[in-house]
Chains A and B, each alone.
Chain A
Amino acid sequence: MATLELRGIRKSFGAVQVLHGIDLQVAEGEFIVIVGASGCGKSTLLRIVAGLETATEGSVLIGGADVTRLEPKDRDIAMVFQNYALYPHMSVFDNMAYGLRIRGLPRAEIEGRVRRTAEMLGLGDLLRRKPRELSGGQRQRVAMGRAIVREPKLFLFDEPLSNLDAKLRVQMRAEIKRLQRRLGVTSLYVTHDQVEAMTLGDRLVVMNEGRAEQVATPMEVWREPANTYVAGFIGAPAMNFLHGRLCEEGHAVDLRAGPAIALAAPPASATEAEVTVGIRPEHVRVVGNGAAGAIPLKVDLVEPLGAESLIHGILPSGEGLTVRASDCSPLAGTTLPIVLPAEHLHLFGGDGRRLRLAHARGAAAPVRVGA
C-alpha cells in the first residue's frame, strides 16, 4: 500500500509524442481508473508506471520514493495483462509462486500465501492445472492471483476484462472492486469501457490523445464534464451538442434550434457569445402539444430498450438530438414537442472547455421563470 505520484510524464516514440505531460496524485488505497478511447496512450502510461517503458520526461514516485530509474522488479508492483500472460507450461500454483520463488521466500511461506490467495479467488481446486485447461474467467482469476500473492504496493491493470464475455465481465468487475476494497491496495486500472470506469473507480482520469482531460470522481465527471470531449465520452447514449448564443448579457442562451432559455446565472468566464450547449438524452423532457417554449422534434428513428426508448430526431435547425424517454414511443415521421430544462444544460466555450456559471456551483440552479 502506498501513494503514487506522476509528475509531468511525457513520452515520445521517435518523432511521435504519445503522452503530453500527465500529472496525477493517487492517495493510499485509492482505485484510479484511466479511461479513454483506444490509442490515446493509456497503456503507455501504465507501462511507464510499471517500468516497462521509460518516460521521455517526468518522474514516477511510489510511496514518496522516486522510482523513475528503477527496474520493474524493484518497484514492488504487480500487473494484470489483458491477455493474462500466464506462463503456459506452468501449473496454476507455479504461475502464482514464480515471483515469490525468485524473491527467495521460504518454501512454507510461498505455499501458504499461494493457497490462501487461491482460496480467496475460488481457485483452490485448480492449482495443479495448466492455463490451457482453464476457462477464460479462471485464467483471469489466476492472473489476479499472481498479482495478489506478491502483496505489492501497487496494482496495475491493463484492460483485464476485455477478453471476457459480457456476463462474466460484469461479474468479475464486481469481484475486482470487492477484492480491491478488501486488500486496500492502491490501484491503477486502464479501460476503454466507460461503464467499467464509472463503476470501479474512486476517481477517473479521462484521457484523450495523450492528455488527461479531467481527473475527478465518476459522478463529478458525469455531472460536470470539464470539456466537450469528456462530456461526449462519458455517459451512454452520448450527450447531445447544439449550437447556441449567449444573450441578455449571459442570462440566457439562444438556441439555433429554438427559443432562448433563461440561465440561473451568467457564465463566469464567457468571452464570446457563441457556445456549445450540451444536454444528456435522459434530461430532455417530452411535453404535451402546444406547451410553452416547446421545440418540435421530427422523429427519425425509435429504439425501444424495454422500460425506455431512444428517440433519434431532427430539430428545426437541422441538428440531430437523441432523447431517452420512458412511456413514450412515437412513430417515426411524427413530431414530438420537447423542452430542454435549463438546470440540465452544460455550456462549453469555443475551445470546448466548460463554462461555469457565476455564483452557481455545479449544474445550473433551478430556472428563474420569466427572466
Chain B
Amino acid sequence: MMHGPVSTTAAEAIARAEAAATRADASRRRADWLTHAILILGVALFALPIWIVLMGSTHDVATISRGEVPLLPGPYAVENYTAAWAEGSARTTRVPVSAMMLNSFVMAMLIAVGKIAISILSAYAVVFFSFPGRMLAFWAIFITLMLPVEVRIFPTFKVVSDLGMINTYTGLIVPLIASATATLLFRQFFLTIPDELVEAAKIDGAGPMRFFKDVVVPLSTTNMAALFVILFVYGWNQYLWPLLITTTGDVETIVIGIVRMIGSEADTDWHLVMATTVLALLPPVAIVILMQRWFVKGLVETEK
C-alpha cells in the first residue's frame, strides 16, 4: 500500500515518456520525409538535363529536329557515338571528337599539373624562406586573385600572339598556369606545419630541397590530390581563352568544338551535339570518381 502512490506516479511517468517518444518519432519521421523530398527534387533538377542529353544522343537527327524531347532511349546510340567520335559534325567543323577530347585532356592535365607545381613552389618560398621582398611577392600573388582571366585577357592575348603562340599548346596552356588560389591554399597548409618539424629536419641535416622532397611534398599529397581534381575540371571547362587562342582545328578543345558544332539553328546535327556532350562529360567524371577517396581526404583530414 505504501508503495501504491509511488508506483502509480512511476507508471504515469513512464507512459508520459513513451507518449513523448512516440510523438518525437512521428515528428522525426515527418522531418525525414521532408528532407528526402527536398533532396529528390534537388537531384531531379540537376539530373534531368543530363538525362535529356543522354536520351537525345540515342535518337536520330529527325526526332530532335521535330522539337521532341525524348525521355526514353532510342535505337541510334551506337551510330551516333561512333560518328561523333570518329568524324565529328562534318557540316560545321571537320575535327573528330576524339581529337578534341585529346586536346582537352592534354590542356586540362597540363594546367592542373602546372598549376600545382608552380603554386607549391611559390608557397614553399613564401612560407619557409625569408628574403627581401617576401611580403611584396606574397601580396602581389594575393592581389592577382582579384583579377580573373577575363580581366587581363586582352593584354594576355596580345603577348601570346606577339610571341607567335596562337594555335599552339603553349599559348593555350601557359597563361592559365599561374594560380594565386592554389598558392594561397598551399601557403595556408604550410603554415600549419609546426616550426619544430622544420627545425628537426635542419638538425637532421636536410637542406631546403631535401626538406621539400622528403617532408613537404609527402605531407601535401592529399591537398595536391584534392587540388588536382578541382583544377582538372577547371582546365577541362575553359572556354573563353581557348576560344580566342584556337582558330584552327589542330588544338581545338571539346568545349569549343561543341559551341562550333551548334552553329546555326537550322543545320545543327543535334544528335551528334548530344553525343559529344555526353563524351565531354566523361573525363571529369572519371577523374572525380578515381580520385574521390583522396579528394575527400584532402578536404576533410589534416594529417599531422
Contacts and interface: CB of A to CB of B under 8 A. Distances in A.
Say if A and B assemble together: yes
Interface in B195-224: 196-197, 199-206, 210, 214-215, 218-219
Interface stretch (A78-86, A263-271, A298-306): A78-86
Contact of A83 (B194, B201, B215): B194
B153 to A, nearest CB: 41
Contacts of B303: 88-89, 132
A300 to B, nearest CB: 45
B66 interface: no
B199 A103 contact: no
Contacts of B210: 102
B158 interface: no
A18 interface: no
A72 interface: yes
A238 B199 CA distance: 36
Nearest to B304: A88
Interface in A268-314: none
B205 A102 contact: yes
B238 to A, nearest CB: 34
Contacts of A47: 199
Interface string A72-114: 1100011101110111110000000011001100000000000
Nearest to A71: B202
Contacts of A72: 199, 202-203
A77 B205 CA distance: 11
A52 interface: yes
A50 interface: yes
A87 B303 CA distance: 11
A102 B215 CA distance: 13
B199 A85 contact: yes
Contacts of B304: 88
Nearest to B202: A72
Interface residues of A, number: 23
Question: How many B residues touch the partner, as a band?
Answer: 10 to 19
B200 A81 contact: yes
Contacts of B203: 50, 52, 72-73, 77-79, 99
B31 to A, nearest CB: 38
Contact of A85 (B194, B205, B218, B219): B194
B139 to A, nearest CB: 22
A197 B225 CA distance: 47
Contacts of B199: 47, 50, 52, 72, 79, 81, 85
Contacts of A99: 203-205
A73 B211 CA distance: 13
A47 B203 CA distance: 11
Contact of B215 (A52, A73, A82, A87): A87
A78 B204 CA distance: 8
B198 to A, nearest CB: 9
A4 to B, nearest CB: 16
Interface in B201-260: 201-206, 210, 214-215, 218-219
A77 B202 CA distance: 11
Residue among B204, B206, B214, B218 with max Cβ neighbours from chain A (10 Å): B204
Interface of A: 47, 50, 52, 71-73, 77-79, 81-83, 85-89, 98-99, 102-103, 132, 146
Given A52-B202, A87-B214, 7 more contacts: A52-B199, A79-B200, A85-B199, A87-B201, A99-B204, A102-B210, A146-B200
25 contacts: A50-B203, A52-B203, A72-B199, A72-B203, A73-B202, A77-B203, A78-B203, A79-B200, A79-B203, A81-B196, A83-B196, A85-B194, A85-B197, A87-B215, A88-B219, A88-B303, A88-B304, A89-B218, A89-B219, A89-B303, A98-B214, A99-B205, A102-B206, A146-B200, A146-B204
For the complex of A and B, list the 5 residue pairs with the smallest distance between their C-beta atoms, beginning with the closest. Answer: A99-B204, A73-B205, A85-B196, A85-B200, A102-B205
